[in-house]
Structure 1
Amino acid sequence: MKYDYLIVGAGLFGSTFAYEAAKRGKKVKVIDKRNHIAGNIYTEKVEGINVHKYGAHIFHTNDKEIWEYVNQFAEFNRYTNSPIANYNGEVYNLPFNMNTFNKLWGVTTPEEAKAKIEEQKASVNIDQPKNLEEQAISLIGTDIYIKLIKGYTEKQWGRKATELPNFIIKRLPVRFTYDNNYFNDKYQGIPTGGYTQIVEKMLESELIDVELGKDFFESKEEYLASFPKIVYTGMIDQFFNYQFGTLEYRSLQFENSTLDQENYQGNAVVNYTDAETPYTRIIEHKHFEFGNQPKTVITKEYPRNWKKGDEPYYPMNDKRNNEMFKKYYDLAAENPNIIFGGRLGMYKYYDMHQVIGAALSVVKQEFK
């Protein structure tokens, strides 16, 4: 069979492109080195619960077109992301809001909360923040920083906050209302029945062939010679044999447990913001879909240093890595038959709606 495109990666970017290409009559082959489709949004059923295998995914967007686009593949529920922070047993609401400030300081009005934050900011008097710690304190003061930012951030990035660049926290969501909704986006929810169904429907066309457990790099030269165009969603530096160096990531380790109890923590996401707890958060998956199953499934997330062969999750977008990526990006531009996309292909952390938007933008350019 003669194909128009080879798509490397059956995640959201590659699958969106495949769906759109097939709609236009193009024959597409999709390969993925994993044994399942849907990339990091893959969900699998355990005890009747849709488990987010690669961490919590909450769909949210202000873009009505993207929201309507994704709703053609699944029905979304009314889930609102309202995570909880646990600091050495003290529980706080996220994002920082009046519930948080009341618990911290006993204040009850926005004026009192603002005054407290300004008082703490003034006491440190940081004009030109040189690192993440100084940036955070200059935005929200010392109490919130110490209890709700410092430990979590240092675990997440594997570095002291004083060693992290200040641009990581350019701004922090601070709300002077009693609103625990983490996102400001107009549209938000979880697909009833999990995320995998979305990609299944994207890839169900007769013009799309899917082959799993297939590593692009085991037959790279053959693929390059056999397909007129390739959509590549893997690591861009690996595609070019790391010739400018290896881009850095943070990785994650997931520890899953099925518990013989109905409700473990009372919330889908609880962040552990102290330095002593080795994991950053616990996810209780049933709460994403308001489940009432007799058992529950929880996942503890442990941030890890990344090395070749590990799963890359978070690009380390510091100055050194961004400059290195720019070299790869310029080299990619010299290869018009290869389309680079997605989180790894563009060395950029994307939310799901951004992945779909980026894929549709590439589709528009490709089929104009």
Structure 2
Amino acid sequence: MTEREAHKARGRQRALDRSRRANNTSQYRLSRKQQARAQRRAAAGLEPKQVTTPGGARHANGAGVPKRAYRRDALSRRYQQIRADHAAASAAAAHRKACYARDTARAIVATHGPNLVTEDVSIRTWALRWGRGIAAFSPGIMLAALTAECETAGGRMSKASTWTTALSQHCVCGARAKKALSQRTHSCGVCGFSGDRDIVSALLAATVTHGACGKDGTPDPKTAYINHAVRVHAHQLVTAGHVQNIPVTGNESPVGTAQQEGPDRSTVHHNPTPAVLAIGEDGSHTVAPAGQGERPALSRNRPHRQQSRTRGWRWGRRRNRRTSHTPTKHESAHADL
């Protein structure tokens, strides 16, 4: 979701709240500012000013339950229009997220194989701490797409516990140093290796081995550990400069930089569609790319003004297709030619 789309979504939500309050003034209290103004006018001997949109809380009982249910409120025609537009925009944004996650997962599996390892993290905790950013990026959709693509390609998506592996705290050489979450660059004081923190963690994730499986046959994240034999081999490859997107200190070979890897990490960022759609190792068919930046489609249930021959303009359902099969004058002219 782009910053502009997020701003428009918040504007629609505020408009819905204003419309509901304006059409159901008896169900809401006055705000503190409105109450203070009413008290000042009463003290000055002025007539009370009528409030069209109360800004306070809704009238409720001692338990906090509204005295009248929201479904009993009177809703204007404009409220129904904005609600339909907001639902259509939300559906379009969710569709773009799912399509982008599917395309990205297909490219990752085609590049790195169907057997992937990710950290066993709690997305619910992320949502509690960074709600707006998690809602914009939706890491759960990405993990679900990766899991589905790995299973389709005949592989498996495994999880590794952060307590037993601590991928972001280790270096490829085996040294361990505690880093704060705000420190996004890995710099080893033992071997002098430096690089992006997430890239180094992803490299170490390729060396993770699971000790046992759970009851359902999937590897147990708590039994995951770093295989040091594979880690030593990975360290040799990194030192020789044979690993892409891993900068090596003092190496002049063009191995790439960490800044060139992946999309931007901004929580409100419009990720573009990959230029080349990758195909899974099992030869799975490619799906059409998501319409990035497309305008949200209007809902068919959105009230729309239509012109009638007898009654003039009236409100009705939006119709996208012609009901009459009689050719128009323009179509008849082309048929005669």
User: TM-score, normalised to structure 2's length?
Assistant: 0.26
Question: Relative to total residues, which structure has the larger helix share, 1 or 2?
Answer: 2
Which one scores higher on RCO, CA 8 angstroms, separation ≥ 6?
1
TM-score, L = length of structure 1: 0.24
Q: Judging by fraction of residues, say which structure has more strand.
A: 1
Radius of gyration: which is bigger?
A: 2
